[in-house]
Amino acid sequence: MTATRSDALVFFGATGDLAAKQIFPALQALVRRKRLDGPVVAVGRKAMSKDEIIALAKKSLTEHGGVDEAAFGGLSEKLRYVAIDFDDASTFARIREALGDARHPLHYVALPPDVFEQVAKGLAAAGLAEGARLVLEKPFGHDAESAKALSAALHPHFPEESIFRIDHFLGKEPVENIVYFRAANPLFEAVLTNQHVQSVQITMAETFGVEGRAAFYDGVGAIRDVVQNHLLELIACLTLELPDEPGHAGLRAARARVLTQLQTLSPNDIVRGQVKGYAKEKGVKDGSTTETFAVLRLALENDRWRGVPFFLRAGKSLPVTATEAVVTFKPSRKPVLEETASPPPNRLTFRLGSEASIAIASNVKKDGESLVGTSKELALHLASPDALKPYDRLLGDAMNGDASFFASKEAAEESWRIVDPVIGDVTPAHAYEKGTWGPAEAAKIAPEGGWLDPR
């Protein structure tokens, strides 16, 4: 049965930072690609006229990607605005009025999770839940218990199949390509097992700090901000058992299944760090021990991956801005032909940043008479600059009812279960200098042969 396409889009948080940087550019792209039908109702806390919200949208596009005059004209015609007061039921009635004849809206909520239930309840009371979809921005809860409670609170208003938990990381072309690359290339899929893989390491590094977001970040930290969601979902894409059935249900279930098989972290599996100077940022609480860096070691308990260590490293104020996953294969343990040392191991690297690529490092003979070699990297794929941006893809998918790259209820709860024991002051946050790879104490958690620093 084909899902009914959403005939309108309502987005809460229209005057926020995420809307400015990501959502308005995504809406313009959806209009340009003819994937956005019906009215677009922007909802925010400030009182604004239609002209003012159009001006805000144009400012956003000017600063983040550029204005496409034709597409922006189409978006401006669709755009309406409603100022929200969560304690005033008439707010949701005004949203109903702004939607006109639309009967299957997509409600996208870019607000803190503590208001998700209130929004869902208000939408339902105004008759805006039946036949609608609800997209919720991360984080979904703040630990496993709150994630379960939140789902239970939403279900009286929206059935599970109508709830889309968004993690924009899953909408990135290079992340989606990991799954396709595995499925379409049996040669590589066959060796992604504990029989051949020595270790997997994932780095998500940023050269910048909290950049004016300290009040938010201080209550979150690196583990909640990127490990619990982005990096665990990346592990799931790298390690899931490819589903036999087509469509989104099998893929979502496969990712969730892997997360159930990841061991719960303990304090021995993590080192936290805090960059020097963080405590002086405006909005940081006195004596804060929030981590701006974390390195972790994880293990998967299934037949395919048992015994392969997974290493995660994430942080701010590091030497480069880059995200990559490196699969290191078991090396030859003896020299080859005329060499005096064993050749370096083969590696499969998924680079996920602005210069996204899939690359394999292999050993080839050096030019000359001697039978000795060198390691060379072959780039198998370079991302197109015209690739869909994450929010273009995910909002369009949600309007179509395609949940392939959205986190399921089970995945959200399992990802919190994995990190819950190491959140907060369970381990100390060691100081580190800006522009370094974290505190010296982080060296105790590292792959065999050390970390491979992204270029």
Predicted local confidence at residue 373, as pLDDT: 62
pLDDT per residue over 163-195, tens digit each?
999 999 999 888 989 999 999 999 999 999 999
| pLDDT per position as a tens digit, 394-420 | 999 999 999 999 999 999 999 999 999
* pLDDT band at residue 323 under the 50/70/90 scheme: very high
| Contacts of residue 236, Cβ cutoff 8 Å, sequence gap at least 6 | 254, 255, 256, 258, 259, 411
Are the C-beta atoms of 258 and 300 separated by less than 8 Å? yes
Q: What is the pLDDT of residue 372?
A: 66
Q: Report in angstroms the alpha-carbon separations of 383 from 258, 324, 392.
A: 27, 14, 16
Phi-psi region of 156 (alpha: psi -120 to 50; beta: other; left: phi over 0): alpha
* Residue 356: predicted pLDDT: 85
Q: What is the pLDDT of residue 20?
A: 93
In sequence order, the β-bridge partners of residue 166 are 137
At residue 410, the pLDDT reads 95
Instruction: Please report which confidence band the pLDDT of residue 89 belongs to, taking 50, 70 and 90 as the band edges.
Output: confident
- Across the chain, what does the average pLDDT equal? 92
d(Cα 115, Cα 216) in Å, to the nearest integer?
A: 16
Read off the pLDDT of residues 344-374 as tens digits, 9 standing for 90 and up.
889 999 998 777 889 998 877 777 667 766 7
Is 230 catalytic? The answer is yes
Q: Which residue has the higher pLDDT, 356 or 321?
A: 321
Say yes or no to pLDDT of 332 above 50: yes
Rounded to whole angstroms, the Cα distance separating 79 from 31 reads: 12
Among 131, 136, 104, CA closest to 119? 136
Q: Which domains does the chain have, with CATH numbers?
A: 8-137 (3.40.50.720), 172-386+409-444 (3.30.360.10)
CB 287, CB 304: distance < 8 Å: no
Catalytic residue among 104, 142, 157, 230: 230
Q: What is the pLDDT of residues 224-265, one digit of tens each?
A: 999 999 999 999 999 999 988 776 788 899 999 999 999 999
Query: Looking at residues 209-227, what average pLDDT do you find?
Result: 90
Handedness of CA 329, 335, 337, 338 (dihedral sign): positive
Which residue, among 210, 224, 85, 65, has the nearest Cα to 141 in the 3D structure? 224
Q: What pLDDT is attached to residue 333?
A: 76
pLDDT category at 1 given cuts 50, 70, 90 is very low
At residue 294, does pLDDT exceed 90?
Answer: yes
The pLDDT assigned to 75 comes to 97
